């Protein structure tokens, strides 16, 4: 008789284990099904919004990949990610135009040197609204942001790591940096919207009623190209594998002899460069505003958590989903009876997605059970 | 006589708490040594202090003739010592191949040869090279963890509770594997809750109590020792 309880417990735990695995597979299946549903609905009935969503999503992905790597490798939520993206966008603006705001409002100061003074720098490349000057400015911004991110880690986050600070301290530090960066952007470039290029640019019509500017196609291709580069780095280079290893288990990475300090540095280099490029790409098709960084935080986190924290491939898929959902869901709600729904509710979509994932499957698409 | 590993008078702990009060352990070349003792005796802490994961407040760690006291783990790995933690000792989302690659991170060359040598020792892993480590069973994970630690062909291998969480049958298989590794020339220092099994495979043993050396000697002698038997081997 004494064996019975042991047998019972073990078979009960078997059942629990089976149930856990089952529910894991089910919740993942449901999630993928919902995503497939959203994508096919949007692709068929709102093709142009679907395309617009993919474009926004691909750019968000560049930010989300960095965010998820930082979360995985350093173990904290970088609330400054959105604002740093905007800082990158403004750095590109600065290199391109040499403009900062003067002492009195609405009086810009031109520093007297800038890329757009170089001959031919602003002449549109092909059908694009901008010339090679902007591309050079974005590349410079990416380098500056990579260096800035590494420096910020040395000054702020590394001391916190050495002290063994908790996750809340890190989050508060990141929040403080976010506020500081936003204030800095307001001081240097003012609250008024900026743009990289002046003048009007017409969109072209494509089959299935899709209307696109060539700029948007460019943005999408660059974002996809960079995501592919990141995929190659993360899955086919030793450095990238070590970054994924660290995101999996930082303690074991250290024990394996991986130079974790160097991996952390490279993580910030990649994240910083991607943030600058993502911010600048977003600003090509919208206006530059300091507050945009704050508005990016929610979609970035929704994408990261949807994909599974620490999983770069998940962040990529998650960002596309958030992009498409954001662009198309207001139209969807209008078509099912909420005719007067304002487009201003768009930012709320990311929030809804975030809540749904946290309820349905907190570990996201690619997350593994622990 | 020089030892493969020689830790002398180690003092270490967490924050205010001092866990190890002057502990000394030696492992001769090619020897297999077990450290046993009750929960909270500081067995795992000792391995961490030896491996530079926890600062040694006093004492010395020598690997062969090299002083590696408080060196960072990457330098200790380069000097020829590997460590397998008790839990979470594989990278779950990385493939088996990538897990092993991480074991050789500090070396730029010879990866294919290293992989081949390790796969030969662990044939079960060979057919599953591309599978994520997270899909492996407990025993297979432990095998992968050992394999990862052997990628650089270390002179000394530190094992923290290799039998933790495994079925009795699997425990025996793992210990046989460890013995095989040891026979191939790697000195092994292992910490075990499963004292009888550990001692029966080892040549020598230490009994650690409350952060101090209590007993040491031949493994066979320790198994027969009345006090050890009463306290740690579950005999009445």
Per-residue pLDDT at B172 exceeds 60: yes
**Is the CATH number 3.40.50.300 carried by domain B5-87+156-232?**
yes
- The pLDDT of residue B236: 44
Residue of B nearest to A310 (CA): B93
- The pLDDT of residue B234: 60
Question: Is B93's CB within 8 Å of A255's CB?
Answer: no
For residue A8, name the pLDDT band (cuts at 50, 70, 90): low
- Asked if B79 is an interface residue toward chain A (Cβ–Cβ < 8 A), one would say no
- Asked if A233 is an interface residue toward chain B (Cβ–Cβ < 8 A), one would say no
Both tokens assigned to A53: 């969503």
- The pLDDT of residue B84: 96
- The pLDDT of residue A368: 67
Per-residue pLDDT at A17 exceeds 80: no
Beta-carbon pairs below 8 A across chains A and B: 69
- The pLDDT of residue A110: 80
Residues from chain B that touch A248, judged by Cβ atoms under 8 A, are 91-94
- Asked if B87 is an interface residue toward chain A (Cβ–Cβ < 8 A), one would say no
Question: Of A251 and A8, which is predicted with more confidence?
Answer: A251
The reported pTM is 0.88
- The pLDDT of residue A11: 67
Residue of A nearest to B89 (CA): A252
Strands (E), A141-253: 204-206, 210-212
- The pLDDT of residue A329: 87
Per-residue pLDDT at A1 exceeds 70: no
ipTM metric: 0.91
Residue of B nearest to A369 (CA): B134
Residues from chain A that touch B88, judged by Cβ atoms under 8 A, are 249, 251-252
Per-residue pLDDT at A241 exceeds 80: yes
Can you tell me the distance from the alpha carbon of A246 to that of B92, in angstroms, rounded to the nearest whole number? 11
Question: Is A258's CB within 8 Å of B74's CB?
Answer: yes
For residue A164, name the pLDDT band (cuts at 50, 70, 90): confident
Closest in A247, A252, A258 to B85, CB measured: A252
Question: Is B77's CB within 8 Å of A244's CB?
Answer: no
pLDDT mean across residues, chain B: 91
- The pLDDT of residue B1: 63
List the single best residue of B75, B78, B80, B91 to mutate versus A (max A Cβ within 10 A). B91
Give A245→chain B minimum CA distance, Å.
Answer: 6
Both tokens assigned to A60: 């968000």
Tell me the pLDDT tens digit for each residue of A198-223: 777 778 888 877 888 889 999 999 99
pLDDT above 70 covers a percentage of chain A that reads: 92
* Least reliable range by pLDDT among A166-170, B30-34, B39-43: B39-43
Tell me the pLDDT tens digit for each residue of A256-313: 999 999 999 999 999 999 999 999 999 998 889 999 999 999 999 999 999 998 899 9
Tell me the pLDDT tens digit for each residue of A332-359: 888 888 888 888 888 888 888 889 888 8
Q: List residues bridging with A99 in a β-sheet.
A: A110
- Asked if A253 is an interface residue toward chain B (Cβ–Cβ < 8 A), one would say yes
Closest in A244, A255, A259 to B85, CB measured: A255
- Asked if A255 is an interface residue toward chain B (Cβ–Cβ < 8 A), one would say yes
Sequence-distant contacts of A266-269: CB under 8 A, at least 24 apart? A266/A239, A267/A69, A267/A70, A267/A73, A267/A74, A267/A243, A268/A70, A268/A146, A268/A149, A268/A150, A268/A152, A268/A153, A269/A146, A269/A149, A269/A150
Residues from chain B that touch A311, judged by Cβ atoms under 8 A, are 93
Tell me the pLDDT tens digit for each residue of A100-128: 887 666 678 887 788 887 887 777 888 88
Per-residue pLDDT at A369 exceeds 60: no
Helix (H, G, I), strand (E, B) or coil at B81: strand
Question: Is B101's CB within 8 Å of A257's CB?
Answer: no
For residue B233, name the pLDDT band (cuts at 50, 70, 90): low
Tell me the pLDDT tens digit for each residue of B181-215: 999 999 999 999 888 889 999 999 999 988 888 88
pLDDT above 90 covers a percentage of chain A that reads: 56
pLDDT above 70 covers a percentage of chain B that reads: 97
- Asked if A259 is an interface residue toward chain B (Cβ–Cβ < 8 A), one would say yes
Domains in chain B: boundaries: 5-87+156-232
Closest in B76, B88, B94 to A244, CB measured: B94
- Asked if B90 is an interface residue toward chain A (Cβ–Cβ < 8 A), one would say yes
For residue A6, name the pLDDT band (cuts at 50, 70, 90): low
Tell me the pLDDT tens digit for each residue of B110-151: 899 999 999 999 999 999 999 999 989 889 999 999 999 999
pLDDT mean across residues, chain A: 89
Closest in B73, B88, B93 to A244, CB measured: B93
- Asked if B158 is an interface residue toward chain A (Cβ–Cβ < 8 A), one would say no
Which residue in the block uniquely carries the two structure tokens 């009876």?
A337
- The pLDDT of residue A13: 65
- The pLDDT of residue A367: 78
């Amino acid at each position: 008789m004494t064996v019975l309880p042991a047998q019972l417990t073990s078979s009960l735990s078997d059942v629990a284990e089976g149930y856990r695995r089952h529910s894991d597979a089910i919740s993942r299946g449901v999630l993928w099904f919902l995503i497939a549903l959203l994508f096919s609905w949007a692709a068929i009935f709102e093709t142009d919004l679907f395309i617009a969503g993919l474009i926004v999503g691909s750019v968000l992905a560049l930010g989300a990949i960095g965010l998820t790597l930082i979360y995985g490798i350093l173990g904290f939520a970088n609330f400054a990610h959105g604002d740093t993206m905007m800082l990158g966008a403004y750095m590109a603006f600065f290199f391109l135009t040499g403009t900062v705001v003067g002492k009195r409002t609405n009086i810009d100061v031109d520093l007297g040197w800038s890329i757009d003074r170089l001959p031919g720098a602003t002449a549109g490349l092909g059908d694009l609204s901008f010339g090679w000057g902007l591309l050079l400015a974005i590349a410079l911004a990416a380098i500056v942001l990579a260096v800035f991110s590494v420096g910020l880690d040395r000054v702020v986050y590394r001391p916190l790591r050495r002290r063994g600070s908790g996750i809340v301290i890190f989050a508060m530090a990141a929040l403080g940096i976010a506020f500081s960066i936003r204030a800095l952007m307001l001081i240097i470039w003012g609250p008024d919207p900026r743009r990289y290029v002046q003048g009007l640019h017409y969109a072209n019509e494509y089959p299935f009623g899709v209307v696109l500017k060539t700029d948007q196609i460019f943005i999408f291709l660059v974002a996809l190209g960079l995501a592919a580069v990141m995929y190659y780095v993360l899955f086919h280079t030793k450095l990238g594998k070590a970054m994924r290893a660290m995101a999996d288990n930082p303690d074991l990475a250290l024990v394996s002899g991986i130079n974790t300090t160097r991996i952390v540095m490279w993580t910030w280099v990649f994240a910083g460069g991607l943030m600058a490029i993502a911010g600048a790409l977003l600003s090509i098709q919208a206006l530059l505003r300091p507050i945009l960084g704050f508005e990016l935080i929610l979609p970035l986190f929704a994408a990261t958590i949807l994909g599974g924290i620490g999983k770069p491939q998940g962040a990529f898929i998650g960002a596309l989903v958030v992009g498409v959902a954001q662009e198309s869901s207001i139209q969807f709600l209008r078509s099912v009876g909420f005719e007067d729904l304002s487009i201003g509710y768009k930012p709320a979509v990311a929030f809804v997605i975030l809540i749904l994932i946290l309820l349905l499957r907190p570990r996201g698409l690619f997350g593994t059970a622990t | 006589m020089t030892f493969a590993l020689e830790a002398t008078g180690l003092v270490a702990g967490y924050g205010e708490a001092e866990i190890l009060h002057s502990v000394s352990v030696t492992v001769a070349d090619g020897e297999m040594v077990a450290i046993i003792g009750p929960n909270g005796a500081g067995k795992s802490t000792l391995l961490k202090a030896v491996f530079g994961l926890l600062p040694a407040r006093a004492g010395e760690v020598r690997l062969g003739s090299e002083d590696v006291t408080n060196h960072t783990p990457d330098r200790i790995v380069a000097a020829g010592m590997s460590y397998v933690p008790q839990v979470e000792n594989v990278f779950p989302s990385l493939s088996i191949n990538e897990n092993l690659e991480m074991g050789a991170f500090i070396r730029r060359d010879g990866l294919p040869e290293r992989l081949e040598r390790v796969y030969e020792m662990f044939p079960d892993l060979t057919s599953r090279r591309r599978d994520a480590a997270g899909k492996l069973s407990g025993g297979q994970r432990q095998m992968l963890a050992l394999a990862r630690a052997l990628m650089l062909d270390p002179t000394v291998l530190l094992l923290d509770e290799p039998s933790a969480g495994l079925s009795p049958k699997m425990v025996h298989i793992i210990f046989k594997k460890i013995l095989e590794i040891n026979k191939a020339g790697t000195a092994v220092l292992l910490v075990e809750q499963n004292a009888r099994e550990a001692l029966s495979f080892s040549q020598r043993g230490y009994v650690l109590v409350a952060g101090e050396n209590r007993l040491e000697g031949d493994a066979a002698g320790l198994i027969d020792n009345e006090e050890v038997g009463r306290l740690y081997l579950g005999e009445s």
